Structure 1
Amino acid sequence: MAARRAKSFALTAGQTDLTTDVLEQVHEDVQRLATDYPQRPLTELLPDLFTTQDTLFTLLEQQRRPSQARQLYFLAGVTGGLLAKASHDLADPYAALTQARTAFVCADNADHNGLRAWIRGIQSLVSYWAGRTRESVKYAQSGAEFAPNSTASVWLPVSEARAWAALGNANATRAAIERAEAAWDSVQEDEVDELGGLCTFGRTRQIYYAAEALSWLPSETTAAADYANRAVTAYEDTSSPEWAFGDQAGSRSALAITRIRAGELEGAAEAVAPMLELVPEQRINGIIHCAQRVHRALGESPLAEAGGELQEQIEAFTRTPLKSLPS
């Protein structure tokens, strides 16, 4: 509490002409939130997310030197992107896309292409999980023009691949996965990537996205299983900077779907068992959708009758998502 009060005083005292210390403090706050986001329950982060966005908006309401305004707009855009993801995780796509649009305005004011590309990735992600798959494709394609070198140049095409796969377009899915892989040859981390966490896109996430994309397509079950196995193995290392409980759960659900298609009920149950142990505070919107995909795949397979117990476990799990918890 004392540290928070000291920080609040420092920010207020520096409002007339922001000092280097003030800018460094706000940058550090945003970086910590970006790094923590994939690894900690959202309930632990929301108060600081709200406070940080409010602080940045307050600082931007004062007239600033152009260099300071650009940095504040950049940080406000990142924070808005994180809050867009938070609204998505709470199953509120309207609020998520509202936050993302404001974040994109901040990216324009900062004139930062890397941030523009990253926000388009957030918009593609939100639209994908909201079932607005063609919109997800458009956001991913729109962002590609801003991301020639950052890791978003990998994230955007593999996000496009997931949306094409959900639409059943196998050719477009494979082409987008190949573009994502080829993009690594020219990746150079930018100012967004340097924040880490949710703001950068690594190879493990790429493997998971490819697994999820291909798991939509029965004709690609073998390739999907290969990607899913690699992703599950990679996410077993909880000390990795790339570790994220949401993507770990998604990898396991993709693996379970491939095993259901192969007639391996026990293997499918084994794949999703760790996901079904997640506490309600970690049952974000994407994880709930992943669990429901496994439930649906099981119900549509010859294993439906034998898989009744697993379906019941999934139903119990999805009854208490994060959004159901008291705010």
Structure 2
Amino acid sequence: MAEQLRPATLLHWLITQKDWTFEDAAQEFEVTAKRAGISATVSPRHLGRMARAETRGRTPSASTRRVLRLLFNRSVDELLSPPPSDPTDATGGHSGLGDEVDMAAERARAFGERSRSRLTDEAMEQIYDEVRSLATDYPQRPVLQLLPSLIKVQGDLMDLIETPQQHPMHLRRLYFLTAVTSGLVAKSSHDLGRTPAAMTHARTALLCAEQAGHDGLRAWINGLESQFSYWSGRPRDAVRYAQRGAEFAERAGSTAAVWLPASEARAWAALGRIDETRTAIGRAESALDRAEQDDLDDLGGICTFSRSRQLYYAADALAWFPSAGADAERYGEAAVTAYAAHDDDWAFGDEAGAMSDLALARIRRQELGGAIEAVRPVLELPPDQRIHGIASSVDRVHGALMNSGIRSSEAAELQEEIEVFRRTALTAIER
């Protein structure tokens, strides 16, 4: 006889619909784990507590999550969420041959992970390639597409670090890669508007960077913290984090030494300090001329700071000052041109930010047509690319337009488009 309690979670509801007891469900869990080659067990009592939402705050192990996903064809986050109000189609999922394909893929993946736990140089290289691919893809693909892979790789790396008797050389490399992936997960959290979670992951990344003994990583993570603080309206914290990483960046001599003063410039600008802003922009430009690639830069993508990004950050800083409008427009135009010309360092978020800064500068000189031309590609971005930083940049354009005194029908239409954009941004949508 099925459990008669009112379902507290989708997991509970699915078990009830299958007419299982928790003992039945635990047995099915064991069968699924065995077929997939996953070493995992769950007791009926613990499964019942999960189903009744009595384990909040405790995350199931990675192996348990994988088996539950195979058994119910739902992520654990879905399974532990309340059941839908009209769950008539909640059973969904695959059956027959599709299940066999999923099982075979899971079995192959589990075999690879067991082999990885005894790290060889070849396995280490494979992990490195995965992280490099994520770092390269991050600026160019929607965050929701990459986040599941990022979280999985982060968890796998943490598991490997906790595996006894890893070779010291491999262990240092594992800490390096865990710091990078934790930084990427932090950036994902920020892009989705979850700043507290972003800062938590950044602190974890910094702990791993300390274990790796890597100055470039320390500086890069301080740059992330500065970025998160800037977009969250905490410019003094943004200055502090940028300055905190300066010593590490100087020792590393990498492009992190460009990112930190560029970040500091934006934060000073948000505080209305134009002299400090221009000085920091100058330091960033000088650092770019001296920067040398380190192994963090070699990962590419979000892990390095290019000339295009430096131009964008300068535009973003100077756009805060109406008196610096000409310089902001010049830097913004240069950044947009640079991103259009260089596919290797293209980043949809930074390009959108530069376009928004260009629009902002043009509005301030009453050039509405040029502003619309600059911001139009941003407003046409699909919702899954409307991340926190882009939405905030577009908000600045909206504010400048409201205060510009321009009262044409074109201005009103642009205001409305921006408001629609904001309502459909990732940070405004319940996911």
Q: Which residue of 1 aligns with 2:383?
A: 280
Separation in 2 of the partners of 1:53 and 1:71? 14
Match of residue 280 from structure 2: 176
In structure 2, C-alpha distance between the alignment counterparts of 1:171 and 1:25, rounded to whole Å:
47
State the alpha-carbon separation in 2 of the partners of residues 170 and 14 from structure 1: 52
Task: Determine which of 12, 22, 25 is the counterpart of 2:123.
Answer: 22
Structure 1 residue 47 displacement after superposition = 1.0
1:326 CA drift (Å): 5.6
The answer to whether structure 1 residue 121 and structure 2 residue 204 are counterparts is no
Distance 2:378 2:111 in 1: 43
Would you say how many aligned residue pairs link Structure 1 and Structure 2? 325
Contact 1:77–1:115 (CA under 8 A) maintained in structure 2 = yes
Structure 1 CA distance, aligned partners of 2:108 and 2:307? 39
Structure 2 gaps of 5+ residues are 1-101
- 1:232 — aligned with what? 336
User: Which whole-Å CA distance do the structure 2 matches of 1:164 and 1:7 have between them?
Assistant: 48
- Where do 1:1-327 residues align within 5 Å? 6-15=108-117, 17-63=118-164, 64-148=166-250, 149-237=253-341, 240-304=343-407, 307-325=411-429, 327=431
- Aligned-pair identity in percent equals 54
Give CA deviations for 1:59-99 in whole Å, capped at 9, x if unaligned.
01112222111100000000000011000000010000000
Q: Which deviates more from structure 2 when the two are superposed, residues 1-10 or residues 312-321? A: 1-10
Distance 2:154 2:121 in 1: 19
CA 5–155 in structure 1, closer or farther in 2 if over 3 Å, else same: farther
Classify 1:95/1:13 alpha carbon distance in 2 versus 1 (closer, same or farther; 3 Å).
same
For 1:229 and 1:140, the matched residues in 2 are separated by 26
Q: SS of the residue aligned with 1:80?
A: helix
State the 1:184 CA deviation. 2.1
**RCO higher in 1 or 2 (8 Å CA, sep ≥ 6)?**
1
Q: Distance in 2 between matches of 1:170 and 1:310?
A: 29
Q: 1:45 is matched by which residue type in structure 2?
A: L
- Code of the residue aligned with 1:212 in structure 2: it is D
- What's the secondary structure of 1:146's corresponding residue? helix
In the alignment, the residues of structure 1 paired with residue 192 and residue 161 of structure 2 have an alpha-carbon distance, to the nearest angstrom, of 28
Cα shift at 1:225: 0.7
Q: Alpha carbon RMSD of aligned pairs, Å? A: 1.5
Distance 1:4 1:52 in 2: 15
Query: Which residue identity does 1:262 align to in structure 2?
Result: R
The aligned amino acid for 2:359 is A
Give me the whole-angstrom Cα distance separating, in 1, the residues matched to 2:188 and 2:112: 28
Whole-angstrom CA distance in 1 between matches of 2:362 and 2:116: 58
Q: 1:123 deviation in Å?
A: 0.5
The one-letter code sitting in structure 1 at the alignment partner of 2:399 is R
> Structure 2-normalised TM-score?
0.73
Normalised TM-score (structure 1): 0.96
Q: Is the 8 A contact 1:285 1:322 kept in 2?
A: yes
AA partner of residue 182 (structure 1): S
Q: Deviations over 1:238-280 (max 9, x none)?
A: x611101101110110000110111111111111000000010
